[in-house]
Structure 1
Amino acid sequence: MSNDTATDTYPLAGTTEQAESAGTYALGERPKDWAISGAILAGAAFFWFGWAQMGERFGTALTVGAIVAAVSAIGAGVVSARTGGPVTMSEDSAARRTYNMWVGVEFLAIFVGMGALGGTGHTEFMPAWALLVVGLHFIPLAKVFRMRALTIVGLVAAVVAVLAVAVGLAGAFPAPTLAGGLGGLLLLGSGILFAAHALRLDRAHRAH
């Protein structure tokens, strides 16, 4: 499908009323996009809670967090399956190319950074580095999917990552625990909120 066709069928944000009256979904208000994003965020939280174990603090709490994250990711996946409307990635080739590009940049940056940290004996900063990269890559993706909340998540993640490194360098608290614990909570909470928002959007659309 061409970009023009996708835009005509699913109007962009700012034309919500037109979209609802036509029985379509405005970009930025597509339940499946929010639910899938929620599943990704909650799934990512699982890994950050695991990385936090490197700091050898709050082991039980972090394990519980990881379990909740895994269950939440599955729940968000179920929400995605049960909600209506299109998935932007399958409808818009330009959005798909942009998404793939930024995810590729993300993985490359994480790989190179972790390799450098491991090679120099600073493995304790790996969770913070990954959180910084993931957070920053959310910002351009937020524009692609018209999801402003994703920008906020990305910026907060970047701040947490920088804070974890600063505190770790000062020796005040283990950097992995801070980056993994706070990062995990941020991603988990965001994932749950995104899935809940998907349900609200779906109910609102069905009501019309």
Structure 2
Amino acid sequence: MVGLPRRQAGLTALYLGVFATVWFSVPKADPPLRSLLVVGSVGGLLAAAVGAVLVVRAGRRPAGERDRAADRRYGLIVAAEIAVGLIGVLLLAAAGLAGYVPVLVCAVVGVHFVPLAPVLRDRLLVPLGVAVTLVALAGLVVDLVSAVPAGLVVGAGAGTLLLAYAVLALFRAHRVA
């Protein structure tokens, strides 16, 4: 397993921990699954908190260490993700298919990890992106063939993957230490 610089690992755990918590809050579920979603949310918040501590301890990046071209690419990728997601959400809502919004958002999030991998110099974001995208597809299929709503599959699946990756980032930072 390749180590990540502590600051980058902290940021990864912070962001993905927060987003894992958000995904775990998407589905409405009855006990005992609701309890598991709450545990996942708390786990996401804990990973985010540990990530934040790593970032603070790592300190600011020296000005000369910034890669402005990578920062621009990162901004463009995230802007494209937001634009595609927003347009898709509006189209689904207008078509009366709001139940599929989590599927669309999950797919867009999954796809955006692939171009982010070289920008963030983290090749493991590619398999994460593929897995998150497959969760979106699974949510759609399950919704179409059963009474289980897509949001439940996508929320639990994406939350679990993002939490697992946040924790992995923390372990990878520990390997560098």
Name the counterpart of 1:149.
124
- Among residues 42, 49, 52, which one is paired with 1:67 in the alignment? 42
Query: Could you report, residue by residue, the CA deviation over 1:36-81 in whole angstroms, capped at 9, with x for unpaired residues?
Result: 012111111111111122x667222212221221222111111222
Aligned residues of 1:128 and 1:180 also touching (Cα < 8 A): no
Map of 1:115-130 to 2, 5 A cutoff? 115-130=90-105
Match of 1:166 in 2: 141
- Match among 151, 154, 162 for residue 187 of structure 1: 162
Provide the identity percentage: 29
Q: Distance in 2 between matches of 1:64 and 1:119?
A: 34
Aligned to 1:148, what secondary structure does the other structure show?
coil
CA-to-partner distance for each residue in 1:114-155, whole Å, 9 max, x for gaps?
111222222222112111111111111101122011111111
Q: Distance in 1 between matches of 2:141 and 2:51?
A: 34
Q: Secondary structure at the match of 2:26?
A: helix
Task: Supply the AA of the counterpart residue of 2:42.
Answer: I
**Cα distance in 2 for residues equivalent to 1:171 and 1:60:** 23
3-state SS, counterpart of residue 52 of structure 1: coil
1:133 aligns to what? Answer: 108
Structure 1 or 2, whichever has the larger Rg, is: 1
Q: CA deviation at 1:34?
A: 2.1
Q: How far did residue 107 of structure 1 move?
A: 0.7
Aligned to 1:94: 69
Instruction: Give the distance between the partners of 1:49 and 1:87, measured in 2 at CA.
Output: 36
Aligned position for 1:105: 80
In the superposition, the TM-score normalised over structure 2's length comes to: 0.88
For residues 87 and 32 of structure 1, the distance between their equivalents in structure 2, rounded to whole angstroms, comes to 12
Q: 1:87 to 1:123 in 2, by over 3 A?
A: farther
- The higher-RCO structure (CA 8 Å, 6+ apart) is 2
Distance 1:93 1:171 in 2: 48
Aligned residues: 173
- For structure 1, the 5+ residue unaligned runs are 1-27, 204-208
Q: After TM superposition, which residue ranges in structure 1, 4 or more long, deviate above 3 angstroms? A: 83-88
Structure 2 runs not aligned, ≥5 long: none
SS in 2 for 1:32: helix
Q: How far did 1:33 drift?
A: 1.4
TM-score by length of 1: 0.76
Task: Report the Cα offset of residue 29 of structure 1.
Answer: 4.0
Q: Is this contact kept in 2: 1:36–1:77, CA < 8 A?
A: yes
Aligned ranges 1:17-56 → 2 under 5 Å: 29-53=4-28
- Secondary structure (helix, strand or coil) at the match of 2:151 reads helix
